[in-house]
Structure 1
């Protein structure tokens, strides 16, 4: 099938003498619109600007370009269109596999602000506990809750903008602009599958525009998607050894590394507007939900601590259910450390007294938990805008919520012994992020003798409330069973339920005031400045500013630059979350507790109250336009102080563990490590963005060539050695490719269009088993991934009737990353955080009707 896809695409490209990124998919006969004329609301509070006239670097991606590719998730769609944007498949990383962390300009997800129609969108409820070093502890927005069909365009501001938009806008801002249509619509079906025959994805999309009286519109969009899971796994060494020793029921592979299963992925978006003679009213919002089901680490029946053995696999862990009579010792290995045959061990298990219990009797092949969740996201924005004399005003309010209910099954609460829930199914609880805001914005132009054009003033005020709720888990997921004191792990194994003691709702409120001035000082010189003051009830106030300038030497060439300060406030979730997770600690699985900085044991390990991250961002760039040519080159440097992240794991001594239990934290009985959030290191990120495009009449139609590339490097300037170690620093600096970019060609001729994209990814570093060391020579398990060139291709036809069809492939030549040299240790065939994914080639077809 993969060969057939390659041949079909190649034939279509050759027959039509064209190669091509789908930037213009308007119906036949529609006048061409240059991307140079497309305007963005980002970068200036006073006036929309085009890519070529902006004083700061902005990517403007049309909705059609955004969606005309094989990826159906907004994160993957952005990954191939914005070179400084990185996201990878997250197979076994707790909640990060449900809402994947994304990185703009090498900074964590919560350093990028998401807007919808220019209004702040709420963050997700998921805190990334396992984020491959760079994203550890981040709580960013969920970009995947919007259907691409609802988007008119996507603007990416690649510059700090906290002085204009507030907290989080350190790396930049992404704005989703929604479509506004009052008639017609679209219906579409999409289907695709990986070359290896798994990951079947089906998607149904529909959109309709309705008139809202004679002066209004109502644009409604719906999307439903389902994606099967994938597996790029090999058998683990320990599982193979158990099979060789005769242990029954061990899977092959025992553990799955792959994309999780996504079911019932529903996305709804409404965008409404109504104009009157005096006021324009607007209302928009979204609702989304999906079910995610993924894999977890295999629990070895010959060694898993807290379940099968507590001495490294030498002897079996046996619980005394009644306390009457001592239970015998059963060896799992011989004197040479070799596994004894299962027949020998099972015979001894069968001879145990009735009061003695071991999980080898009920789960002799070990077990591999399945972890997932039910996600819901909803928001509503309402406002009115108009003119009052020379003043333009905009008053709005918003409410947004992101909710996740975790599930984990095919696992046990070992402390309960044989008394397990039906189906080995647990509900560990969940998290809810809720945000409310009220905004008042005004703008006005002032005539002045000192500027070439009127002086433009924008000012405003904002009030926000943010809350993070921790919902408790069900009884079995949090239970501290009777076998706890005998060394059996408590809580649902792999992801403990949130206890009622740590559950609750944690709020924060803040208000802000800002002013933005923009002056066209001369015909060629633009100067702008912004100042913002914010006050938080949790840690006090902060003031940020920004200065931007642009000088046009002539109509073709200009220099632009900006300097700004920024901040990111610690979230209520980061300040209050408490969770126990199971991670691979280099040689074995370990239970690690994440504690709030206010927790006594966290403070014993050095935790302090969280303070905001602070940043300084400077950029300098050049813009050159000539006819159908556009060329921009922008360099930047972002310094961030007191970055917030999860600490290194600290060992908990038996004395500390006993003190925690005695002090009212009984769930601490089985933890071996603790971690917490803190401000502990400073970084400097330096980079260069190159974007160029050329529109021609080649090949008998309109052919657009686009080249975009990013070079990015992060250095850790200072770090607290008691908080993070050299291995973590290494991941912060080297986990993402330094160089990433694409070259694309899009061709449109009559009803036919075609596109060809070459995506380049530089080399990267990975240590997904968190061995805690930098080189393999030290006994660790790091992986160095090489550079790669990934080719995407698509051909399509659009007919006068409105019917359209396309066929394409992402990763056309099925490029896979280099093999994981330590695949047998954890069962992963490839490095799992590869920036271009590890699933290989994906072919797809799309058919739709625009009416």
Structure 2
């Protein structure tokens, strides 16, 4: 707590010293800039409150607001990359050659699990991805939402399960769709200075007004990006070429980098006045993508479980198909849809109501090409359909709000209450029979299943549901003009494990009209999903010491073998969130906030320790080890967010300076899972992400020109590579990247922008212990490791 008190005292001193600095040669333009800043800080927000007049400055919890212009200033249209550059504690990884996570990238807020951040669209829950990622995390895929459809993004950096339900442990990301009239088309081209990763994108939006009150906005995006490769030839591939000069071994035999990817996204946002103080509204978002990624290369001289010649298939030799080995090609075809319809209205001036229903679906079809099921011998195909994962969610919500005028209070007491029903359904569709078949060659040592990633079998296929019913109450009381308190309570009952009750208390005290203290305490939870409760999977990895492929099985908790090994029914993760902060603004154009937080999560969700399959149990897939899901370890996450901006006149132009800095540390407090009991996994968990992350930006607008400079800082972090016999670790130092961009308004309706991300072509240290795999830079890096990226785009408004 001494650290926290010192930090608050320093922030107060910083504010006071800035306020006392004399303003020389203050002009009308400077005053205008200050007024603009004050206006921005007073924009009404809708996240973390059910009051209709709460602003970013006077909210009881920290909320970052990013405008359409902020979003457009980031080169990527992938919302994960956008938020990684805008939000101080948001980190997203590339993870090449990491199965489905290559395409559905894990993103974390405040270092917590990807599925411990709730995502909303227009204030309603957005559905999850069908992918279960690292440690079983099942989070929404923000890449499915078109950036061109967004009006602004509000990021609540505080626990909010008492207000929104499951998942809101780290915070809430609320994406507000555009509803402004007018049209816009943007064409963009980019590529890396290594002359790969070429990408083209076309984005369009059009908003129109129909009748007297109707609004309709349409959005469309199409993008294509070629793969990148930061790869050296594997040493064993060089040895193979030397031993067999008659062969033409590809160089490199496998590729580390971003996948080959194509995507299309469509959407609409609409509303119409029905009269009698009622408005009908709705939106729809559709997305489709197809991608391909490399897997580890199979060496014909050493991959005996694939290339072994047996009496089961006399005269058959896999070298006749893959004489130089093979690198399986993993494909991902994804379809995503989310639609919502609702009606809102008012009973008088003080009572409002809102009823809505939504449906979301994410489906992922997996394929494997350039592969083999060796146990089938010559009967095996070389391409496989591996099956489909599907996540579906239905939600019905009724929300009410009443502004209660109480005698003696300057403002009304806001009372919000409502109820919600949600259904989640998870489905697994089996792949081709050959993709999971155990052929006659398995008994003689040949690998079964599609090599690289086995297909989902008929035994794994199925559909599973979970229902939940919730009721909630939210009250904000303005005790006087300076002091506001709030409270929230939510009860929720789940069909699979029972009920939960969570609460939140928050307060804000204005020391001056421009300087305030705020704080909150809340409990939260994250409910296990049907996919986590009921499914099992098989994965393959490469031991970086032996360069041999090994298979691991993840069993459902109801699987007889998992129960034999100690699996217990899954329960919700539970959290306690405490935050304390200050926020300020002044007449010289400075605004900002400092927020400390302490988040304790118990019964965290992860995979168990790895178990060898008992010799008395059948093991047709020849698993090296098996695991199951468990929620048996506890953590404490502590940190601080510092956010600030300063808007002023400089010469004939406007200068906007921004700072976003986060320090975050997560420690394991105990438990029985592998994370708590295995030293290697504990290091991976606690040190896999940088503890510090910062972005410093400067934008200068003058006449038809706008120039942007941005510095991104990532602190040091630790990487590991999983082997059958243990992990190897490497510490990577801090990295800083400089981005530059300039925009020129060719006409009032046309803008040309060009920019460079990572101007100085910075790369991290090489991942020396993974060199045997041909990889140069760690695949687990919390930033892009492809070097300098150049881009140009052209926007036409109409």
Q: 1:479 aligns with which of 434, 437, 443?
A: 437
Partner of 2:359: 399
- For 1:440 and 1:699, the matched residues in 2 are separated by 52
Cα shift at 1:806: 0.4
Partner of 1:468: 426
TM-score by length of 2: 0.93
Deviations 1:496-520 (A, max 9, x none): 1111111010100010000000000
Deviation by residue 1:95-115 (Cα, 9 ceiling, x = unmatched): 111100100000111000100
- Does residue 614 (structure 1) correspond to residue 612 (structure 2)? The answer is no
1:719 maps to which of 671, 675, 690: 671
Q: Which residue of 2 aligns with 1:197?
A: 195
The 1-side partners of 2:515 and 2:724 are apart by: 51
User: How many residues end up aligned between the 2 structures?
Assistant: 757
Against the structure 1 CA distance between its residues 38 and 771, is the aligned structure 2 distance closer, same or farther, given a 3 Å change threshold?
farther
- Structure 1 735/771 Cα, relative in aligned 2: closer, same or farther at 3 Å? farther
Task: Report whether the alignment pairs 1:805 with 2:752.
Answer: yes
Q: CA deviation at 1:822?
A: 2.4
Which residue is 1:290 aligned to? 289
CA contact (8 A) 1:113 1:174 kept: yes
Q: 1:769 to 1:34 in 2, by over 3 A?
A: farther
Q: Distance in 1 between matches of 2:172 and 2:628?
A: 28
Partner of 1:646: 607
CA deviation map 1:691-725 (0-9, x unaligned): 01100101421110001100000000013156762
For the structure 1 residues 817 and 48, does the alpha-carbon distance in structure 2 shift closer, same or farther, using more than 3 Å as the test?
farther
Pairs within 5 Å for 1:665-744? 668-720=620-672, 725-744=678-697
Shift of 1:652: 1.8
Q: Which residue does the alignment assign to 1:541?
A: 499
- 1:396 is displaced (CA, Å) by 0.2
Residues of 2 paired with 1:399 and 1:677: CA distance? 28
The 1:847–1:727 alpha-carbon spacing in structure 2 relative to 1, beyond 3 Å, is: same
Say which SS state the counterpart of residue 495 (structure 1) adopts. coil
Q: Shift of residue 395 of structure 1? A: 0.3
Aligned partners of 1:498, 1:450: CA distance in 2, in Å? 65
Match of 2:796 in 1: 849
On the 8 A contact 2:633/2:673 being kept in 1, the answer is no
Pick from 283, 291, 316 the counterpart of residue 357 of structure 1. Answer: 316
Deviation of the 1:356 alpha carbon: 4.6
Equivalent position of 1:321 in the other structure: 312
Name the CA distance, whole Å, in 2 between partners of 1:449 and 1:305.
83
Corresponding residue number in structure 2 for 1:820: 767
Instruction: Give 1:521-540 correspondences, 5 Å limit.
Output: 521-540=479-498
Q: CA deviation at 1:32?
A: 8.5
Contact 1:46–1:456 under 8 Å retained in 2: yes
2:682, 2:544 → 1: CA distance?
17
Shift of 1:837: 1.4
Residue equivalent to 1:563: 521
* Structure 1: runs of 5+ lacking an equivalent: 1-29, 309-316, 323-354, 661-667, 774-779
User: In structure 2, what is the Cα distance between the partners aligned to 1:33 and 1:517?
Assistant: 27
Pairwise CA distance, 1:280: 0.5
Report the Cα distance in structure 1 between the residues aligned to 2:648 and 2:581, rounded to whole angstroms. Answer: 26
With over 3 angstroms needed to count, the CA separation of the structure-2 counterparts of 1:771 and 1:811, relative to structure 1, is farther
- CA displacement at 1:45 relative to structure 2: 1.7
Q: Give the match's secondary structure for 1:207.
A: strand
Residue matched to 1:107: 112
Partners of 2:780 and 2:195 in 1: CA distance: 21
Q: Determine if contact 2:453/2:538 at 8 Å carries over to the other structure.
A: yes
1:208 corresponds to: 206
Tell me whether 1:768 sits opposite 2:728 in the alignment: no
Q: Which moved more, 1:430-439 or 1:268-277?
A: 268-277
1:604 equivalent to 2:551? Answer no
Partner of 2:238: helix, strand, or coil?
helix
* Mapped partners of 1:556, 1:50: distance in 2: 13
Shift of 1:86: 0.2
Residue 584 of structure 1 is matched in structure 2 by 542
2:132 corresponds to 1:127 = yes
Partner of 1:93: 98
Distance 1:403 1:48, change over 3 A: farther
Residue 485 of structure 1, CA deviation: 1.4
Instruction: Tell me the SS of whatever aligns to 1:154.
Output: strand
SS of the residue corresponding to residue 603 of structure 2 reads strand
Checking the alignment, whether the CA contact within 8 Å between 1:768 and 1:831 is kept in structure 2 is no
By how many angstroms is 1:770 displaced? 4.8
Inter-CA distance 826–781: structure 2 relative to 1 (3 Å threshold): farther
Checking the alignment, whether the CA contact within 8 Å between 2:65 and 2:152 is kept in structure 1 is: yes
Structure 2: distance between partners of 1:47 and 1:650:
54
Which of 64, 67, 70 pairs up with 2:69?
64
Secondary structure of 1:496 counterpart? coil
SS in 2 for 1:76: helix
Q: Please tell me whether the aligned partners of residues 609 and 673 of structure 2 are also in contact (alpha carbons under 8 angstroms).
A: no
Contact preservation (8 Å) 1:454, 1:520: yes
**1:755 aligned residue:** 708
- Distance change (3 Å), C-alpha of 1:770 and 1:51: farther
Structure 2: gaps (5+ residues) = 1-34
Distance across 2 between alignment mates of 1:770 and 1:102: 24
Within a 5 Å distance, the mapping from 1:263-282 to structure 2 comes to 263=262, 265-278=263-276, 279-282=278-281
**Residue of structure 1 in register with 2:83 after alignment:** 78
- Partner Cα separation in structure 1 for residue 334 and residue 259 of structure 2: 14
Return the alpha-carbon distance in structure 1 between the equivalents of residues 280 and 410 of structure 2: 33
Equivalent residue number for residue 5 of structure 2: none
- Secondary structure of 2:682's counterpart equals helix
Superposition map of 1:14-413 within 5 A? 34-128=39-133, 131=134, 136-181=135-180, 183-246=181-244, 248-263=247-262, 265-278=263-276, 279-304=278-303, 306-308=305-307, 317-321=308-312, 355-389=314-348, 390-413=350-373
- Whether contact under 8 Å (2:433, 2:457) holds in the other structure is no
SS in 1 for 2:421: strand
User: Does the C-alpha gap of structure 1 residues 676 and 74 become closer, same or farther in structure 2, counting only changes over 3 Å?
Assistant: same
1:67 deviation in Å?
A: 2.1
State the match for 2:17 in structure 1. none
Report the Cα offset of residue 70 of structure 1: 1.8
Shift, 1:823, TM fit: 3.9
Cα distance in 1 between the residues matched to 2:77 and 2:38: 26
Report the secondary structure of 1:268's partner residue.
strand
2-structure distance, mates of 1:465, 1:721 = 30
The 1:650/1:305 distance shift into structure 2, 3 A limit, reads farther
Instruction: Normalising by structure 1, report the TM-score.
Output: 0.87
Cα distance, 1:494 vs structure 2: 1.3
Q: Pick from 734, 741, 751: which aligns with 1:794?
A: 741
CA contact (8 A) 1:785 1:831 kept: no
Which sits farther off after the overlay, 67-76 or 726-735?
Answer: 67-76
CA contact (8 A) 2:544 2:770 kept: no
Aligned partner of 2:31 in structure 1 is none
Q: How far did 1:832 drift?
A: 1.4
| SS of the residue 2:305 aligns to | coil
Q: CA deviation at 1:319?
A: 1.9
